[in-house]
């Protein structure tokens, strides 16, 4: 008897055994998809991972329905890597498989499909069965695969559907197909010949008989004097009360020229392509350093200040690997950043660049998957967010992880809760390829590895092109409020700087990090925020219980009536958001355009890209936003960055709060003055002497690193301990409480390492489910594998208790 071992795309840890014929046994290869029956009526797309002749003892093996592939579409390296992810992150292999594959590869009985809009199908191109499906979808907008089964009177219709998806006739129902096109605003400028003081006189003479054309020229000079901003075609026509045909006449005479800011940047980049490949001395040294480090080590950290030109170093490095025919994976923390980067990379590598991310349609994702699998020249360089790590690389030479410190590299929900950086390092290992981590503010874990000889370390301390690091000025809010120098949330210092920048036609970024947690209690007189005596975090104010609580150890105290530091009774719950700031600016600078970038304004499709574009196009003068602003954007006209209130970031109840505050403030500051003029940053704070703020001001990463590392050691956090967070959820409060306590007690008994909890998290009920968490701290000198096995065993026995079985348990290894 012959069997195939498969993974099902369901949250199941086991693999399953199915019967195959001898011919099938000889045909199937690991990594092919196979349609199999599961349960009473369902069919799923399973993945073959082994062939054998051992009959399962616990159940009778069913027969497969059909082999779906002619060749493997998943490589053996991937299978091994996915198994590693399942084991390391303590999740089901089925979760990894399901999360890794584009859903068009995973047809199942319940999948809903529809006909693609506006496709023209020649009926003669379709087989009889395909025609029946096509015809049914003309009558009805969408169908379940199960329905098609009955139409065709056939159990397994996956191959037919798959073929029709490949032919671009059918699509899966939930798809986003819309494509993003950057909006291009047309601007107008004088030809260089007239762009001078004498230009106006010259033109007035030249155009003395063309009144309307003269009006345009006059209006242009008026607009130019008013503001140094680029002048849009539309704006000029409005101002001069003329028409586009008159303006066109002037363009034809070579007096004016039209341009797009975006295009302009690209063509500018292309013009300096030769120079570009010319790295600066600092960049060249870093490049050589990376190469040297790669001779000994697999991973290298490039720690380069903001705007040091890390991207150009990546480009140079990629070039070397491409020359050898290798594939390159370029991971970004945020898919909205791909638009910017793709432009930069395609300027060098042309159509060898492919993009892979979840906002792409299924068909596009399938296409990139196939290209990578075939090692096609069209996908030598893959840019993508964390999930591109799951692609079927054949010959991976290099992985670049830009902004490696970003927490978005860690997936929270659903499982697999993997960290893309760490998983990429493991993947690279199986390909014997290299990994370059880049950041101006590396994560503590990474810098720890880099200074402990695990990773190589290369640093750049200067910005590209002699641009100076921005000048950072601290504004003491306590003093400003006391001396009545505040308008709303703006200090006089910040307002003066804003007025100046705006008058010069420069743009401004204002940062306000407001998170959806209950606000902290803060003293209005001295700015003191109560902290937990046992942990390095601030306490959170809980209004309904009138309590201050620590979210890490459960410590709590009654809400104080006066400040523990200065005895003032002026205590307040602190918290204002981006929206309030936006409104204040509108009042303070009514003639200026304000934009806002936060979760509310970027929610829609491409919302993020649209805001970035209009800021780039200079339609927005002041951009207010949350941490989304900190993600490696390159704007060339921002001269001022304001941080509205540094304190609520610092006192966020999280052991990474100081590290993150440093990263965020440094990154946001880094958006200032990226061209010739030195940028300015104003940080408003109640605690100008706080170590973290001082470290930001002095650009002292090492100071921050050492201080935080010390605290992590004392308070038992990474990189000295690995954290495993167990989250339990149930609608019944008492049942959950009891179950969580049971789990905690058993863990505490069987693990001789710190187990904390069970804690009621800040948001202790979501969608009517109560939540409890347990935190396990595994010291790095303990064997990780066997500790996790013990944890898994305890979780299994928990599940075996009938009354606890309905409690949902999620395990998050190395949670962020």
CB-side exposure of 306: number of CA atoms within 13 Å? Answer: 27
Applying CB under 6 A, does 309 fall inside the site for ligand ADP? Answer: yes
Applying CB under 6 A, does 307 fall inside the site for ligand ADP? Answer: yes
Q: How far is the CB of 485 from Zn ion (least distance, A)?
A: 20
- Which positions from 352 through 411 interact with ligand ADP, judged by CB under 6 A? none
The annotation status of 523 as a binding-site residue, yes or no, is yes
Cβ-count burial of 646 within 10 angstroms (0-12 exposed, 13-18 middle, 19+ buried)? buried
Q: Which residue is nearest to ligand ADP (CB)?
A: 309
Applying CB under 5 A, does 568 fall inside the site for Zn ion? Answer: yes
Three-class SS of 259-270: EEHHHHHHHHHH
The annotation status of 300 as a binding-site residue, yes or no, is no
Nearer to Zn ion, 532 or 807 (CB): 532
Q: How far is the CB of 316 from ligand ADP (least distance, A)?
A: 9
The annotation status of 563 as a binding-site residue, yes or no, is yes
Which residues lie closer than 8 Å to 483 by C-beta, 6 or more apart?
Answer: none
Which x/- pattern, by CB under 5 A, does the window 523-562 give for Zn ion? x-xx-x---x-xx--------------x-xx-x-------
- Of 170, 88, 177, 91, the C-alpha closest to 126 is 170
Interface pick for ligand ADP out of 356, 464, 701, 705 (rule CB under 6 A):
464
Which tokens sit at 560?
Answer: 């104080």
Q: What is the strand order of the sheet 456-460 is part of?
A: 353-356, 381-384, 327-331, 396-402, 434-439, 299-304, 456-460
Nearer to Zn ion, 97 or 655 (CB): 655
Other beta carbons within 10 angstroms of residue 532's beta carbon come to: 22
Nearer to Zn ion, 452 or 534 (CB): 534
- Distance between CA atoms of 521 and 523, rounded to whole angstroms? 7
Interface pick for ligand ADP out of 279, 353, 415, 791 (rule CB under 6 A):
279
Nearer to ligand ADP, 470 or 758 (CB): 470
Applying CB under 6 A, does 320 fall inside the site for ligand ADP? Answer: no
Nearer to ligand ADP, 312 or 476 (CB): 312
- Which positions from 282 through 301 interact with ligand ADP, judged by CB under 6 A? 283
What are the start-end ranges of the E strands in 574-713? 594-597, 622-625, 638-643, 680-685
Nearer to ligand ADP, 312 or 613 (CB): 312
3-state secondary structure at position 575: coil
Applying CB under 5 A, does 41 fall inside the site for Zn ion? Answer: no
Q: How far is the CB of 622 from ligand ADP (least distance, A)?
A: 22
Applying CB under 6 A, does 338 fall inside the site for ligand ADP? Answer: no
Interface pick for ligand ADP out of 72, 230, 304, 758 (rule CB under 6 A):
304
- Of 776, 802, 800, the C-alpha closest to 790 is 776
- According to DSSP, the residues that pair with 640 across neighbouring strands are 508, 680
The annotation status of 550 as a binding-site residue, yes or no, is yes
309 binds, among Zn ion, ligand ADP, none (CB under 5 to 8 A by kind): ligand ADP
- Distance between CA atoms of 469 and 471, rounded to whole angstroms? 6
DSSP 386: G
Q: Give, for 496, the enclosing helix (H) or strand (E).
A: helix 492-503
Q: Position of tokens 């055994």?
A: 17
Nearer to Zn ion, 528 or 690 (CB): 528
Other beta carbons within 10 angstroms of residue 57's beta carbon come to: 6
304 binds, among Zn ion, ligand ADP, none (CB under 5 to 8 A by kind): ligand ADP
Count of residues touching ligand ADP (by CB under 6 A):
18
- Distance between CA atoms of 692 and 710, rounded to whole angstroms? 14
Total number of residues shown for the chain: 816
Nearer to ligand ADP, 108 or 609 (CB): 609
8 Å CB contact between 118 and 432: no
Q: Which residues bind ligand ADP (CB under 6 A)?
A: 272, 275-276, 278-280, 283, 304, 306-312, 464, 634, 674
Could you list the residues known to form a binding site for Zn(2+), using ranges.
523, 526, 532, 535, 550, 553, 563, 566
């Amino acid at each position: 008897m012959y069997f195939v071992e498969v993974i099902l795309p369901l949250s199941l840890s086991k693999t399953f055994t199915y019967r195959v014929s001898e011919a099938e046994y000889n045909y199937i290869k690991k990594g092919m998809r196979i349609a199999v029956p599961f349960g009473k009526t369902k069919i799923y797309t399973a993945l073959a991972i082994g062939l054998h002749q051992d009959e399962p003892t616990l159940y009778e093996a069913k027969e497969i329905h059909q082999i779906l592939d002619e060749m493997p579409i998943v490589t053996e390296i991937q299978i091994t890597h996915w198994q590693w992810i399942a084991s390391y992150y303590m999740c089901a292999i089925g979760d990894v498989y399901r999360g890794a594959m584009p859903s068009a590869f995973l047809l199942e009985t319940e999948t809903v499909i529809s006909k693609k809009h506006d496709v023209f199908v020649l009926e003669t191109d379709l087989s009889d069965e395909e025609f029946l499906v096509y015809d049914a979808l003309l009558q009805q907008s969408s169908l379940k695969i199960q329905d098609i089964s009955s139409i065709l009177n056939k159990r397994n219709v996956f191959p037919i559907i798959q073929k029709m998806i490949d032919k671009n006739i059918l699509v899966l129902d939930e798809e986003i197909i819309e494509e993003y096109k950057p909006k291009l605003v047309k601007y107008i400028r004088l030809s260089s010949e007239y762009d001078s003081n004498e230009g106006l006189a010259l033109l007035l003479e030249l155009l003395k008989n063309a009144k309307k054309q003269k009006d345009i020229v006059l209006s242009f000079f008026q607009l130019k004097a008013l503001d140094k901003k680029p002048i849009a075609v539309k704006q000029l026509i409005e101002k001069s009360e003329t028409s586009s045909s008159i303006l066109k006449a002037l363009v034809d005479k070579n007096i004016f020229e039209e341009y797009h800011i975006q295009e302009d940047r690209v063509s500018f980049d292309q013009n300096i392509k030769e120079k570009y490949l010319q790295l600066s001395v600092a960049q060249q040294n870093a490049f050589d350093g990376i190469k040297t480090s790669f001779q000994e080590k697999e991973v290298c950290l490039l720690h380069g200040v903001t705007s040091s030109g890390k991207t150009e170093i990546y480009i140079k490095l990629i070039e070397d690997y491409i020359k050898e025919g290798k594939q390159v994976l370029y991971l970004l923390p945020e898919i909205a950043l791909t638009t910017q980067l793709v432009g930069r990379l395609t300027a060098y590598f042309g159509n060898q660049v492919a993009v892979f991310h979840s906002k792409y349609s299924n068909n596009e994702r399938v296409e990139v998957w196939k290209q990578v699998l075939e090692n096609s020249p069209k996908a030598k360089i893959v840019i993508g967010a964390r999930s591109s790590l799951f692609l079927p690389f054949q010959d991976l030479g290099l992985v670049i992880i830009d902004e490696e410190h970003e927490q978005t590299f860690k997936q929270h929900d659903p499982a697999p809760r993997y960290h893309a950086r760490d998983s990429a390092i493991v993947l690279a290992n199986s390909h014997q390829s290299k990994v370059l981590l880049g950041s101006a503010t590396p994560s503590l874990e990474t810098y720890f590895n880099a200074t402990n000889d695990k990773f190589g370390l290369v640093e750049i301390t200067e910005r590209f092109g002699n641009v100076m690091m921005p000048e950072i000025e601290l504004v003491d809010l306590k003093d400003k409020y006391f001396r009545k120098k505040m308008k709303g949330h703006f200090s006089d210092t910040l307002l003066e700087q804003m007025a100046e920048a705006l008058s010069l036609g420069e743009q401004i970024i204002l940062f306000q990090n407001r998170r959806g947690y209950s606000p902290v209690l803060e003293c209005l007189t001295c700015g003191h925020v109560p902290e937990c005596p046992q942990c390095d975090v601030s306490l959170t104010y809980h209004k309904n219980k009138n309590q201050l609580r620590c979210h890490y150890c459960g410590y709590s105290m009654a809400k104080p009536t006066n400040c523990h530091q200065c005895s003032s009774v002026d205590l307040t719950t602190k918290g204002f958001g981006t929206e309030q700031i936006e409104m204040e600016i509108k009042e303070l600078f009514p003639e200026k355009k304000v934009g806002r970038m936060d979760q509310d304004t970027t929610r829609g499709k491409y919302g993020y890209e649209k805001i970035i574009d209009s800021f780039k196009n200079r339609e927005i003068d002041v951009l207010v936003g949350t941490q989304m602003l900190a993600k490696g954007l390159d704007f060339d006209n921002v001269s001022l960055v304001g941080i509205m209130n540094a304190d609520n970031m610092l006192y966020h109840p999280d052991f990474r709060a100081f590290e993150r505050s440093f990263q965020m403030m440094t990154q946001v500051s880094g958006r200032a003055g990226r061209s010739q003029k030195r940028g300015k940053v104003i940080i408003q704070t109640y605690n100008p002497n706080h170590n973290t703020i001082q470290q930001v001001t002095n650009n002292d990463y090492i100071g921050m690193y050492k201080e935080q590392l010390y605290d992590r050691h004392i308070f038992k956090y990474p990189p000295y301990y690995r954290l495993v967070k167990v989250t339990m959820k149930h609608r019944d409060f008492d049942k959950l409480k009891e179950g969580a306590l049971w789990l905690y007690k058993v863990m505490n008994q069987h693990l001789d390492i710190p187990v904390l909890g069970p804690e009621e998290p800040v948001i202790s009920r979501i969608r009517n489910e109560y939540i409890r968490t347990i935190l396990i701290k595994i010291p790095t000198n303990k064997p990780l594998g066997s500790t996790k096995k013990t944890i898994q065993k305890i979780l299994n026995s928990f599940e075996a208790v009938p009354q606890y079985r309905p409690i949902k348990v999620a395990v998050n290894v190395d949670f962020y």
